[in-house]
Amino acid sequence: EKEIIAKNAPETTSRYIPVRVKAILKEEFGQKCSIPTCRKPAQEIHHSQRFSLAHTHDPRYMAPLCREHHQ
């Protein structure tokens, strides 16, 4: 399903992350930070592919992180 969402992810200027993308990330990573050794709750979603350049919320390039790891 992640591939299907990624393939159909439209370009956007909105920083609002669609509910469907959030659900996929929650299913994959749960409520915790995606860093393997971290046990803190995820508080932010990180775009590893810069949103300002890509203008898309592609779940293949996103991960939930705790505030410390996101900074």
pLDDT band at 3 (very low <50, low <70, confident <90, very high): confident
Integer Cα distance of 68 and 71 in angstroms: 5
Tell me: pLDDT of 15 over 80.
yes
pTM for the structure as a whole: 0.82
| 41 DSSP β-pair partners | 32
User: Which burial class, exposed, middle or buried, applies to 33 when counting CB atoms under 10 A from its CB (0-12, 13-18, 19+)?
Assistant: buried
Look up residue 2 and give its two tokens: 């992640």
Integer Cα distance of 56 and 71 in angstroms: 21
Integer Cα distance of 35 and 14 in angstroms: 26
